[in-house]
Amino acid sequence: MTNNDIFRRLRYAFDLKDTAIVTIFKLADVEVSQEQVTAWLKKDDDEAFKSMRDKDLAGFLNGFISYKRGKLEGPAPTPESKLTNNQVFQKLRIALNLQAEDILALFKSEGLPLSSHELSAFFRKPSHKNYRECKDQVLRTFLMGLQHQHRPTPPAS
C-alpha cells in the first residue's frame, strides 16, 4: 500500500475534513498547507497528485495519536523517516486505544481471522524471533475494518 492510499483510507474512515487534517499535523508539530493535503488526497493519475513521503505519513499518525488521545506535555515525537506497515498498524492501535480482542474481532468481521499469537507478532521488535512483517493485505483489511466500524454503510432501502 502506498502512503497516499493509507492516508486516503484514514481520512474517509474517520470523515476528516482538510482543515481537521491540517490541525492533526499541527498536533505533531508538523506544518502542512491545505494545498499539500489536497494534493496527497488526489488519485494517482491526477496531474495535481503528490506522493506522500514516509516522514509525512508518520507526522500525520503522530498527530492522529494526539488528536484521539490528547496531546502529551513536552515536544512531539520526531516523525520516522522510514515507515513500515507494522509501524502504521502500531500507531493506529495506539491512537484508537485498541486492545488485542478489539483488533481480533475487527479482523474476524472482515473475514480474516487471526490468532492472538499472530497478532502479537506484528507488534514485536523486528529483531525478535517471532516478529512477523505486516503485509499490505493485512493492513488493508485492518483499514477496511476500521472504515466499517466508524462509517458503517446505511442499510439498503
157 residues of the chain, pLDDT tens digit each: 999 999 999 999 999 999 999 999 999 999 999 999 999 999 999 999 999 999 999 999 999 999 998 887 777 788 888 999 999 999 999 999 999 999 999 999 999 999 999 999 999 999 999 999 999 999 999 999 999 998 876 655 5
Is 156 within a domain?
no
Is 146 within a domain?
yes
Question: What is the percent of the chain where pLDDT is above 70?
Answer: 97
Other Cβ atoms less than 10 A from the Cβ of 5: the count is 15
C-alpha angle with apex 117: 137 to 127, nearest 5 degrees? Answer: 80
C-alpha angle with apex 82: 79 to 83, nearest 5 degrees? Answer: 80
Give how many domains the chain has, as a whole number: 1
How confident is the prediction for the chain on average, in pLDDT?
92
CA dihedral 139, 55, 69, 147 (to 10 degrees): -30
Is 157 within a domain?
no
Is 27 within a domain?
yes
Is 127 within a domain?
yes
Alpha helices in the chain (DSSP H): 3-13, 18-27, 34-41, 54-69, 85-95, 100-109, 116-122, 136-150
Other Cβ atoms less than 10 A from the Cβ of 9: the count is 18
What is the distance between the alpha carbons of residues 38 and 41, in angstroms, rounded to a whole number?
A: 5
**Can you give the residue range of the structural domain that contains 84?**
3-150
Is 72 within a domain?
yes
**Amino acid residing at 40:** W
Is the full-model pTM beyond 0.75? yes
Instruction: Please give the pLDDT value at position 154.
Output: 60
